[in-house]
Amino acid sequence: MVYVKSTSSIIPSKPTPVGVLRLSECDQRMQWTHIPLIFIYKATDDNNEKTKTVETLKDSLSRVLVPYYPLAGRLHWIHGGRLEVHCNAKGAQLLEAYSEAKLDELGDFAPMKAIEDLVPKVDYGSPIEDWPLLLVQVTRFSCGGLCVATVMSHTMVDGWSAAKFFNAWAKLARGNELEENEMPFHDRTILRSLHEPPMPPRFEHIEFTKPPLRLGHTDAKEEKKKETCVAILEVTKEQVEGLRKKANEIPCQDVEMVSTRPYSRYEAIASHLWRCICKARANDNSQPTRVTLVIDFRSRLKPSLPPGYFGNTVLQTVTSKCVHGDLLAKPLSYAAGKLREAIERMTDEYIRSALDFIASQKDVGALRCGLHNGAHTNPPNYLGNPNASIISWINLPFYGMDYGCGKPIYVGPALLNDDDGKTYIMSSPAADGSLIIALRLQTECMNSFKKFFYEDMPW
Question: What is the sign, positive or negative, of the torsion defined by CA atoms of 125, 131, 135, 140?
Answer: negative
* 326 is known as an active-site residue: no
Question: What is the strand order of the sheet 19-21 is part of?
Answer: 19-21, 83-87, 74-77
Q: Which residues lie across from 316 on neighbouring strands? A: 294
Question: What is the sign, positive or negative, of the torsion defined by CA atoms of 347, 353, 356, 361?
Answer: negative
Q: Which of 59, 296, 326, 402 is catalytic?
A: 402
User: How far from 102 is each of 139, 312, 375, 401, CA to CA, in Å?
Assistant: 11, 36, 31, 22
User: How far from 84 is each of 185, 316, 357, CA to CA, in Å?
Assistant: 17, 22, 19
Q: Which of 154, 205, 272, 324 is catalytic?
A: 154
Using alpha carbons, select from 273, 242, 410 the residue that is nearest to residue 338.
Answer: 273
DSSP strand pairing (2-10 vs 74-77):
unpaired
Q: What is the largest CA-CA distance in the chain?
A: 63
Contacts of residue 51, Cβ cutoff 8 Å, sequence gap at least 6: none
C-beta separation of 309 from 298 below 8 A: yes
Q: Which residues lie across from 410 on neighbouring strands? A: 40
Using alpha carbons, select from 63, 39, 59 the residue that is nearest to residue 178.
Answer: 63
C-beta separation of 139 from 145 below 8 A: no
C-beta separation of 315 from 352 below 8 A: no
C-beta separation of 74 from 88 below 8 A: yes
* 154 is known as an active-site residue: yes
d(CA 379, CA 317): 20
Strand ranges, E, within 326-452? 388-393, 410-413, 422-427, 435-442
Residue type, 435: L
| Residues noted as catalytic | 154, 402
